[in-house]
Amino acid sequence: NAGVTQTPKFQVLKTGQSMTLQCAQDMNHEYMSWYRQDPGMGLRLIHYSVGAGITDQGEVPNGYNVSRSTTEDFPLRLLSAAPSQTSVYFCASSSRWTVTYEQYFGPGTRLTVT
Amino acid sequence: AQTVTQSQPEMSVQEAETVTLSCTYDTSESDYYLFWYKQPPSRQMILVIRQEAYKQQNATENRFSVNFQKAAKSFSLKISDSQLGDAAMYFCAYEEAAGNKLTFGGGTRVLVKP
């Protein structure tokens, strides 16, 4: 049981490039989310999904796209990277059927946009 | 929109002593969850403790306990018998009962002095 996995761990992009951050979970959780954490701040919600085929915007969705074709995977796409997107990105999953209803976080991806 | 405020950017505690971290939140909902997450330098997000708003009893987990004051919208974390391994960033987070979207505070850095 690997939990929530994210790839890559580190990434450097040039302004205007696009890329996809991968997230996968093997706990059969229906909920998955993407957060970003800027230096000295808490996490902010980018996009979330309540099940395969269903996604919605969070607090800071601009510049990002998501899709959820399977229960396990929830990739985050940066369409045209900007320096303001330099951040640490966390994927999380949870289920309303668990006792603690907690969100399980991946290890994070540190993204630098130059 | 819900907001979560942590007014203490940094707290210092002597090993084996007690420290209390403050958190206030704003919501018009009556049913929700509150969490404290720990983020060590590895940046992994680790759940410390959770509280359901409908429960009057304060949650405890070993050396960690909360003081939940629903009317005051206050949710403080007490760390007893502090250990060197408790040194980390601590984030207070709010989640509506109907969804899986976490709103985080700005964090409090805890330093533990030997």
Beta bridge mates, B51: B34
* Cβ neighbours of B102 in A, within 8 Å: 33, 35, 43, 45, 92, 103
Grouping H, G, I as helix, E, B as strand and the rest as coil, residue A112 is strand
Chain A contact probe: residue of B45, B49, B91 with most A CBs at under 10 A: B45
User: How far is residue A19 from each of residues A10, A12, A65, B5, measured CA to CA in Å?
Assistant: 12, 10, 11, 33
Q: What is the C-alpha to C-alpha distance for residues A53 and B52, in angstroms, rounded to an integer?
A: 29
Comparing alpha-carbon positions, the chain B residue that sits nearest to A40 is B106
Per-residue pLDDT tens digits of chain A, which is 114 residues long = 779 999 999 999 999 999 999 999 999 999 999 999 998 889 999 999 999 999 999 999 999 999 999 999 999 999 999 999 999 999 999 988 776 678 899 999 999 999
The predicted structure's pLDDT at residue A99: 67
Q: In this structure, are residues B27 and B74 in contact, taking their beta carbons and an 8 Å threshold?
A: no
* Cβ neighbours of A90 in B, within 8 Å: 45
Comparing alpha-carbon positions, the chain A residue that sits nearest to B99 is A50
Grouping H, G, I as helix, E, B as strand and the rest as coil, residue B79 is strand
Specify the pairing of strand A10-13 against strand A109-113. parallel
A1 touches chain B (CB under 8 A): no
Q: In this structure, are residues B90 and B45 in contact, taking their beta carbons and an 8 Å threshold?
A: no
Chain A contact probe: residue of B100, B103, B108, B109 with most A CBs at under 10 A: B100
Beta bridge mates, A43: A37
What number of C-beta contacts closer than 8 Å exist between A and B? 55
Residue B2 vs residue A57, higher pLDDT: A57
Amino acid (1-letter code) at residue A74: F
Beta bridge mates, A23: A6
* Cβ neighbours of A41 in B, within 8 Å: 106-107
B105 touches chain A (CB under 8 A): yes
The predicted structure's pLDDT at residue A102: 83
Comparing alpha-carbon positions, the chain B residue that sits nearest to A94 is B100
pLDDT tens-digit map of B20-51: 999 999 999 888 999 999 999 999 999 999 99
Q: In this structure, are residues A112 and A13 in contact, taking their beta carbons and an 8 Å threshold?
A: yes
The predicted structure's pLDDT at residue B6: 97
pLDDT (average), residues B87-101: 88
**Count of CB atoms situated within 10 Å of the CB of B73:** 16
* H or E element in which residue A61 lies: none
Instruction: Give chain B's mean pLDDT.
Output: 94
B62 pLDDT exceeds 80? yes
* H or E element in which residue B5 lies: strand B3-5
